[in-house]
Chains A and B, each alone.
Chain A
Amino acid sequence: MTDVLVCIKRVPEATGEVTLTPDGLGIDGSHAGYTVSPNEECAVELAVQVADGGRCTVLTLGPAGAVDQLRAALAVGMTDGIHIEGDSDAFSPADVAREVAAAVRARGEAGSAYDLVLLGNDAADTGDFQVGVRLAYALGYPVVTGIQTVSVEGSTAILTGEGPDGSETYRVALPAVVTVLEGGVEPRYPSVMGRMKAKKAPIETLAPTTVPVGSGRLALEVPPPPPNQVRILGEGAAAAPAFVATLAELGVLR
């Protein structure tokens, strides 16, 4: 059995129009709703598979509402949660890594250390691409990013991901940090039973250990959409000749 910790982040859905908070420093998800990145959904799935009945904890640093994202992960098989309560926008990637490292150490000191810590490759909102790496340095663990499949043999993790020349395999001694990219596993849907269990699963709420330094964010802006200058070539099959003529104009056809 492998004890696994997965870190997720509550982020605004980016399906429709994006609106900013009144101070212009945050993305307002109150209308669109909240989710976690597809990479993190895959990390949760890998954790459930790798733990194979062992302990798999889901952790988030976020506002009170982030409990929703913890419960969603608990509903697909995670066994317990850790909620570090705070405004995630006020935390830099280094701040987040420090808080997660503190939580990992605290569990270790309490006699329940994690063998493997999984994160998404990069958060869907800030896309910082570094929390996992900084966490690994804070803990003194090896780290591999961009991984799509994970299995464990004894005290070694076997990891695969796409590299420039093909599929790459790593064999890394545990404990280790791994960041996950979508594409290796299909996240499962929660069962009715899973949802029931999630409601009762324990979630430990923690306060941040230190005041965050902050990300250095000065402002956000939503770039205006490009002006609608689309030229409609026609409707249905009748538009085919216009399509071919346009390709010729563009020089795509020789």
Chain B
Amino acid sequence: MILVLVEIDDGALALVSQEALTFARGLGEPVEAVVLAAPGTDTSAAVADCAVQGVARVHLVDGPDLISYAAAAWASVVAGVLAETGASTLVASGSGRASEILAHVAARLDVPMAANALEASPVGESTEAVGGQARMPDQGSDTGTGLLVRRQVLGGAVVESTLLAAVPAILTVAGHAVEPVAAPVAGAASVVTVTPRIEPDDLRAQVASVTPRSGGDGASLTKAKVVVGAGRGAGGPDGFGGVDALAAKLGGVVGVSRVVTSLGWRPHHEQVGQTGSRINPDLYVPCGISGAIQHWAGCSSSKTIIAINTDAEAPMVTKAAYAIVGDMHEVIPAILAALDKRG
């Protein structure tokens, strides 16, 4: 059985958790889920989403100690479910929370964990023979027995193959590496509620207070259907009028490259990249962004990219579907005027 730690976003199952469930289903074993949500959260939509993803059983968690988030407490819960169910593999998205909890579980069980997996397949004795034949040991394998994982390193510029030989195998799935697909047959998603006993030591690091965001945040960026990007080509903190206007016009949000946030031109939560948000829009319009690995790590899942750049050879241009060669400060006003004319 594969156990997946899933999260809730806006009442439903988070997109990255749906991706993790689709990924887990691909491993060829039944899938169960633990929902990471404070007791009292409405999980009905998330449970329904789990059924769509073919999940057989959903573990909900209750208890006063989990009202405020504590990673170690959640890790003890997940480790408990792992022990009780005998799951072979633990999977989650690469979100901050999920990565943190899985790292705790891996540390507690003293087993390896692979972050940012793109794909995984069982090798060795557990290999399922192609064509629906009986399970048989893979004699030809020289890598040993376990879960062979291909994962992103160096911000996705390099792919590492690694073998998770221990049980349970623990891995997080790279954001947007997998398209979430409904299971051919919906799962029962039968709900069991766990009321765990939390050790005091696991509450030593617990959220004491939450200040809701006043301005924008990375979350609106990761969910946006249209993102207008700006890089060094903006020229300075006053160079963003055009991208702000274009984003507003297209019903999108602004995302920026790392150089922009490290120069203090725009706040860090607008950063797209390895140390910022990973976006997944239908349309990305990077303006004056050269497209270094650091930035590509955050925008490579965009469905269509239209780059605006003075350099026709910039990586952002050569990796884009469309491009305009020119200065963003000349091109964007002309685009705004053309959009206005269109009405």
Listed in ascending order, the chain A residues whose CB lies under 8 Å from chain B are 12, 14-15, 18, 20, 27, 37-39, 92-94, 97, 122, 124-130, 133-134, 136-137, 142-146, 162-173, 176, 181-184, 186, 215-223, 225-226, 228-244, 246-247, 250, 252-253
Contacts and interface: CB of A to CB of B under 8 A. Distances in A.
B306 to A, nearest CB: 7
Interface stretch (B22-30, B176-184, B231-239, B322-330): B322-330
A127 B116 contact: yes
Interface of B (DSSP majority class): mixed
B85 interface: no
B71 interface: yes
Interface of B: 7, 9, 69, 71-72, 94, 96-97, 99-100, 103-104, 106-108, 110, 112-113, 115-116, 143, 148, 152-155, 157-165, 172, 204-213, 217-219, 226, 250, 258, 261-262, 264, 268-269, 271, 274-275, 282-283, 292-294, 304, 306-307, 312, 317-327, 330-331, 333-335, 337-339, 342
Contacts of B342: 244, 253
Interface of A (DSSP majority class): mixed
A164 B9 contact: yes
A134 B207 CA distance: 20
A124 B154 contact: yes
16 contacts: A15-B293, A20-B158, A127-B153, A166-B212, A167-B210, A167-B213, A183-B271, A215-B112, A215-B162, A229-B321, A232-B322, A233-B322, A236-B325, A237-B326, A247-B283, A252-B283
B226 to A, nearest CB: 6
Nearest to B225: A252
B115 to A, nearest CB: 5
Nearest to A37: B275
A129 B107 CA distance: 12
A113 B275 CA distance: 31
Contacts of A145: 71, 96, 99-100, 103
Given A216-B165, A237-B330, A240-B338, 8 more contacts: A130-B106, A164-B219, A183-B268, A218-B163, A230-B323, A239-B324, A247-B250, A252-B250
